[in-house]
Each structure stands twice: as structure tokens, then as C-alpha cells.
Amino acid sequence: MSGSRQMAESTSSVQEQASGSGPKKSGGKGLDAIYRSISAAIIEHRLKPGARLREDALADVFGISRTGIRKVLQRLALEQLVTLTPRRGASVTRPSVDEARDVFEARLMVECGLMEVAAKRITEADIQELRDMAKQEREALRNREQRSAIKLSAAFHARLAEISGNRTLAEFVGQLASRSSLILAVYGNAGHLGCESHDHDNLIELLAAGDGARASGFMERHLKSIEASLSIFEEPEETPDLKDIFAVDA
Amino acid sequence: MSGSRQMAESTSSVQEQASGSGPKKSGGKGLDAIYRSISAAIIEHRLKPGARLREDALADVFGISRTGIRKVLQRLALEQLVTLTPRRGASVTRPSVDEARDVFEARLMVECGLMEVAAKRITEADIQELRDMAKQEREALRNREQRSAIKLSAAFHARLAEISGNRTLAEFVGQLASRSSLILAVYGNAGHLGCESHDHDNLIELLAAGDGARASGFMERHLKSIEASLSIFEEPEETPDLKDIFAVDA
DNA sequence: CGCATCCAGAGCGTATACAATAGAGCCCTG
DNA sequence: CAGGGCTCTATTGTATACGCTCTGGATGCG
């Protein structure tokens, strides 16, 4: 890696790149806003895993036709935030146990690896921005605004990944962070919501000091502690083993 | 596999056969077939970077309406294989220099990391399958079927990642491998097409021996050698610096 | 003769209409 | 009264229609 290149406002991933010239109608820009809106609702747990997302209802809410909604839902499905079942429509994804493990394993690998890169590339402006984000997060926690806190925490990890300068990996981390929010919704214990904001502060200091190795190690413990805080039970399966469950009663 | 220049025989035959007898049996499955068809065409360089993909034309070729085509194109866009420009339609992505670097950096991080996991989990069946794939690849190379070879090479890396058991990371690697094929199309030198099949054989042996560390190191050299073989020039950019170019004339 | 403007064509973006299907409730029958 | 089949409705899947924008060429004016 090298050089100087900044990653403008990421998260838009595809399409809508050069539309800076003028506000042409509500066009595809509106769709992106709808995407962000639904995405935020899911990440903040205002839409809980399993919630059904009927196309008509969404189309009505956002004032567009189903065509646009379908587009948005398809994108969300590709990011694994919603699940599309063939004739049943869309619903907020309920991550499986395997999926949860996979996501955290992936985060461990990628985010830790990125810390080394980020420690070398981080700038003063980055540090300031991260501190602001961490501060916002702490305040949200203090005010018991768990929804904001969750979203801010995911945003923090995503922003951290962007510092590496690798857009591809940053996008990937962003998706993983979003999915982690879903995982927390299903397997998390109430009251203990994922990241301790204190951890994030420590992380910033290590990066500011340019100590990539330590930052990586700290991130590893950070992620592992989150994963460890989950209650990963197999939960009610598709086909609950009724025979087993009612064996004593029968 | 002689010169079919655009998406040719295989694609149309599949679709026509499927919807020939029944009313509309194909359902969403047909769309997946179309996705794979276009995806394969891109990876095999039958569709070159920059090629425009007009919706009408594709709809005509595959015998469905633009609706389904748009869905497929959107998916391909999210995977960065095609680029959607607001009012200009879809075209095969021409990866930028930055993107190429990002993709290989990501592969380095993820694929090497996965080798350690894969070495522990690999089974006899996996080894056999990988050997078969490597063999196919060697044969394709020997027969000068570069298109097949490229596709097989990407498939090999993707399959390798699957062994880790981590579906999320495996999917990610699959996408990176596909994008690498695009990068090779733009920045690769003719005659030297990415992976040496010999490398793949060595990799299999290291994994079969359970030596994750060495496999990881080998993968690192493997990927770096591919990246090093590219001719990464800045090339004509979006906005060529005309003032600079014609400065002497003016 | 050169340049700006207008016109026509092509292709994408969105909405709407129609068809098919799964789920649920209801009726009929044993 | 219970069970099974049937219809009926709600919701998704697909196609088509229409409008808007952008491109390229022709035309009129300076």
C-alpha cells in the first residue's frame, strides 16, 4: 500500500458516484436514503431479527412503489441484514449460531490485521474524529440510549477500518459490524451491550502512539470479550425435538 | 473453446430449454443461472472490462424482461464485477489501480490467515477434490485454454477458503478472486496468467501435511508473485490531464 | 465557415398491472 | 364433533408501459 488516497464517504459502495452536480429529482439518491433508513433501523434493533418486511407496507411508508423497495431489500439481503425467502418475502435476518461464530472469526482476522496498517497511516484528523465518536458513544451509554450506542459502536469499528486506506476491507468490516449488531440482538445479554466504550478509547491511544502490534492485540481481546459475552445457545430450532421435550410429561 | 466473442451458445440454450415446456416454472432459479452465466463470462474475460451491458440486449438474449436483468446486474454491481453509472447503464468494471492494490492486500490478509485454519480442518476428501481441481487447471493451461484456466484458478482459491468452514470469509474470498480476474484482464501481461498451477500443487501438499504456517507463508509468496507480475500503470484515467498531455503542443 | 441550439433517438428509472402461489379460514362430510 | 379438502385472500414475482435524461446529428444564425 502506499500513496495518498482518501476514501470519501464510503458506505455507498456501488452506483451513485458522480451525482454531485445537482439534485436531479428524487432519483436513485432517494433509494440510498431509504436503504440507510432501513439499515439503521435494523442495526439499532428497532427492527428485530425475524421481523417481517412487507413490500407494500414499506412502499407505503417511504412513498415510492414496490420496485424501489425491492431493490433496497435485495441489497440488504446481499449484505445479510435481511433474509429473502422465495415466496414469503423479506424479514430481518436471525443469525444462526454458525453465522455468529463465522462473523466474529472474520472480524478477528480482518480487524486485527488492519490495526497494524492503521497504526502507520493514522493522522491527527483521524485521531480527533475517532475520539469524537468514542465520546458520543460514551454519552449515549450514559444516557441509556442503547440504540444509539449500538449504532455508534458499529460505526466506530467501521471508521477504524477505513483508516487503513483499504476500501474493500473497510466495506467488509462495515458489513461485519452491522451483522454483529444483529448477533447481539439475538444472543446478547440485556444490559451488557457489546463494546465497552473504554476499550475504544484505549484502542485510539495505542493507534495514536503508533503501536500497531499492541493495538492488534487489544482488538483481539476486545472482540473476544464481546463474543464471550454472548449466550450462544442453540435456541429453538426449526424442528424442535418435541419428543425429547415432552418425554417426561408424556 | 474457440472464439465465442460475446456470451454465446451456452447461455441462450439454457434459458430457452428451461422455459420451453411449462408456463413459468423457472422462478427465481432462472435468475441465478443468468447470474452465474454473466459472472462466468466476466471472469473468463469473454466480457472484457469496460464492455457495456445493455439491459435490453441481455433481456433479449436470456429471454426474460429487463426486470430480472436489472436484478442480476444489481447483484453483480454489489460484488464489484460490474459498474452501474446512473443514467448510462451497466458495464464490466475496470478496476482502478487503488482497487487492484486493495484487493490483493485483502487477499493476502484473509487467505493467508485462513491457511492456518484450513490446515487443521482439511479432510482427505478435500485434498482429493483440490488435487482434481489443480489437475484440471494444469490441463487447461497445457491446452492453452486460458479462459478455463482463469476460471479454474479463481475456483481453486475459493474452494480453498471454503475448507476453513467459515462461510462468510469463504464468500469474501470468492468475490476477491473474481475481482482478481478482472484485475488480471486490465493489468496482467499476456502469456503470464496469474497463478502457476505448480504453486497450487505445493499448497495442497503443505495443507495435507497439516503445516498451516508454511502454507500461509507459501500463499503469501504466491499472491505477492501474482501481484508483482502485474503492470500497474496509471493508464488513462477518468479525467485525463489534458493540459499536461498537450502542454508541449500548446 | 464555425458555433450554438434544437430535435430525434436510444436507453435507463420508476410505476403500475397482471399472474401465480402459499396460508388461512371455512365448509362439507364421515 | 373432527378432519380433510377447498376456496379466498394476501403478498410476492414478472412483465410492460411511460417518462426522463443523455447522446449525436442536423440546422439556422452570426
Q: What is the mean pLDDT of residues A128-150?
A: 93
Q: What is the mean pLDDT of residues A50-59?
A: 97
Task: Report how far residue B101's alpha carbon sits from residue A99's, in angstroms, rounded to the nearest whole number.
Answer: 29
What is the helix (H) or strand (E) element at residue B43, kind and residue range? Answer: helix B27-43
Task: Report how far residue B97's alpha carbon sits from residue B74's, in angstroms, rounded to the nearest whole number.
Answer: 23
Q: At A101, is the secondary structure helix, strand, or coil?
A: helix
Give the angle subtended at the CA of B170 by the CAs of B168 and B171, to the nearest 5°. 70
Task: Report how far residue B184's alpha carbon sits from residue A48's, in angstroms, rounded to the nearest whole number.
Answer: 43
- Enter the C-alpha cell of residue A213: 502490534
Q: Are A118 and A207 in contact (CB under 8 A)?
A: yes
CB of A248 within 8 Å of a chain B CB? The answer is no
Does the pLDDT of residue A3 top 80, yes or no? no
Q: What is the mean pLDDT of residues B4-14?
A: 37
Task: Report how far residue A196's alpha carbon sits from residue A207's, in angstroms, rounded to the nearest whole number.
Answer: 17
CB contact under 8 A, A75 and B78: yes
Write the burial class of residue B214 (CB in 10 Å: 0-12 exposed, 13-18 middle, 19+ buried).
Answer: middle
pLDDT at B241: 58
- Which chain B residue shows the shortest CA-CA distance from A4? B98
**CA nearest to B210, candidates B121, B137, B85:** B121
Residue carrying the nine cell digits 472469526: A105
CB of A75 within 8 Å of a chain B CB? The answer is yes
Q: What is the spatial distance, in angstroms and rounded to an integer, between the CA atom of B72 and the C1' atom of D4?
A: 42
Does the pLDDT of residue A24 top 50, yes or no? no
- Per-residue pLDDT reduced to its tens digit, B23-79: 344 456 789 999 999 999 999 999 999 999 999 999 999 999 999 999 999 999 999
CB of B91 within 8 Å of a chain A CB? The answer is no
pLDDT at B53: 98
pLDDT at B233: 77
What is the helix (H) or strand (E) element at residue B53, kind and residue range? Answer: strand B52-53
Confidence of residue A232 (pLDDT cuts 50, 70, 90): confident
A87 touches strand C (CB under 7 A): yes
pLDDT at B16: 38
Q: What is the mean pLDDT of residues B106-112?
A: 98
- Enter the C-alpha cell of residue B56: 435490453
- Enter the C-alpha cell of residue A212: 500497531
Residue B124: Cβ within 10 Å count: 8
pLDDT at B26: 47
Could you give phi then psi for residue B53, rounded to 5 degrees? -120, 90
Q: What is the spatial distance, in angstroms and rounded to an integer, between the CA atom of B143 and the C1' atom of C25?
A: 64
Question: A-B interface: how many C-beta pairs under 8 angstroms?
Answer: 76
**Which carries the bigger pLDDT value, residue A240 or residue A186?**
A186
Confidence of residue B189 (pLDDT cuts 50, 70, 90): confident
Q: Are A67 and A75 in contact (CB under 8 A)?
A: no
B103 CA: distance to closest CA in chain A (Å): 7
Q: Are A15 and A28 in contact (CB under 8 A)?
A: yes
Q: At B239, is the secondary structure helix, strand, or coil?
A: coil
Does the pLDDT of residue B10 top 60, yes or no? no
Say what percent of chain B tops pLDDT 70: 80
Domains of chain A: 27-92 (1.10.10.10), 97-228 (1.20.120.530)
Task: Report how far residue A75's alpha carbon sits from residue A35's, in angstroms, rounded to the nearest whole number.
Answer: 8
Find the CB nearest B102 among A16, A28, A168: A168
Q: What is the mean pLDDT of residues A222-249?
A: 71
- Enter the C-alpha cell of residue B24: 413459468
Lowest mean pLDDT among A105-119, A179-193, A205-219, B61-75: A179-193
Write the burial class of residue A227 (CB in 10 Å: 0-12 exposed, 13-18 middle, 19+ buried).
Answer: buried
CB of A15 within 8 Å of a chain B CB? The answer is yes
Question: A77 pairs with which residues across the strands?
Answer: none
Spell out the residues 6+ positions from residue A3 whose beta carbon is closer than 8 angstroms to its own: none
Q: What is the mean pLDDT of residues A131-154?
A: 93
